[in-house]
Amino acid sequence: MRFLLLLASVTIAQALVHVPLMRSKTLRMALQERGLLGDVLRHVQDVYSKYAPESAGAVSEPLVNYMDNQYFGRISIGSPPQEFSVVFDTGSAELWVPSVSCSSLACTNHRRFNPRLSSTFQSTDESVSISYGTGSIKGALAYDTVQVGSLAITKQGLLLSETESFFLYYSHFDGILGLGYPSLSVSRATPVFDNMWSEGLIPEDVFSVYLSSGSSSVVVFGGIDESLYSGPLRWVPVTHERFWQITIDSVALGDQVFACQDGCQAIVDTGTSVIAGHAEAMKGIQKAIGATADVYGLYHVTCSDIGSLPDLTITIGGAQYPVPAAAYISQFSGSCTSGFQTTAGPWILGDIFIREYFVAFDRSHNRIGFASAAKS
């Protein structure tokens, strides 16, 4: 705020040019005697009003929808800014983008960060490896300014990939921005969202996600946009502060319960496109919807059967969240595939579920809220 103080000092000095001061008098008394105090105070107030930052508000970051399979938005890194497309991923906690030093084929068709072009870049000697469900990266930890919408986070930890698995060659995004808890961070760098909050850039320690099959998907940092959902927003507690993990009461297809009769754990994951569950339960569900596997492990169903297939109903916190067949079956080029996969860990409620239900992630109370997503 040095600029503000200098402006105020200049104004006061100008007002006192012709005012002889007795050593025993305060500046305020002298100004008041000459009838100048009110003018000076009003001027100082005007200066502060003009240059003081606006109060923080929630910031919406629009997302690009690629075939209902990948959702990503824009960020920039460095000074001057270098732009990247990233998945805002609640299933991880690291921010990474490709580096100009990356030698992998997967980096050749994506934007790459050049540290030499950024005046705010800070390097480290720390090397970090991250594995995802469908790929892995290895790179170096660094710090720089990261811009998300109108929010500028200074000295943000990030990984600059130097090698990437071949699978990422086919991704339509450059990198990933993790929104998981700090305990999930491999590098131990503070995640982007935590820095948004600690630096006072957002009014609430909350972010929310709205995914659609159209062009209106968005992540809201610092609040909840009530226009993005209908009905009540129901909250459930986070059961393990690492992933955004909750308890599922049951998973049923039609009237038949296939899993979690006694409760089970699930992760709400914006970085996963499917709904994933335990092998035995998923085997039964795939069979019940008439899905058969091909040589690549994809499960196909007869497209004409979609209208007659039952809802998958996931019960959370005593409330039922039905997912219709039109949502859990993907149709592309005359082929229809199941959106169910297996996982050995907690269940995963990915984009198939989130397209049906607006989700709010509340760090201040360690809870997740669900409501019916507004129709786009």
Nearest to 139 by CA among 186, 79, 180, 93: 186
Cα 204 → chain centroid: 14
- Which of 374, 71, 61, 59 is CA-nearest to residue 228? 374
Q: 266: buried, middle or exposed (CB in 10 Å: 19+, 13-18, 0-12)?
A: buried
Give the integer Cα–Cα distance in Å for 180 and 193. 9
Task: Give the three-class secondary structure for 42.
Answer: helix
CB count in 10 Å sphere of residue 133 = 15
Number of H helices, E strands in the chain: 7, 28
Please state, in angstroms and rounded to a whole number, the distance separating the CA atoms of residues 342 and 272: 12
Q: Which of 68, 249, 269, 351 is catalytic?
A: 269
> Which of 327, 369, 372 is closest to 352 using CA atoms?
327
Q: Which of 68, 89, 144, 362 is catalytic?
A: 89
Question: Could you report how far apart the first and last alpha carbons of the chain are, in Å?
Answer: 44
Catalytic: 89? yes
Q: From 357, 350, 331, 180, select the one nearest 276 (Cα to Cα).
A: 350
Distance CA 133, CA 118 (A): 32
- Indicate which residues carry an active-site annotation: 89, 269
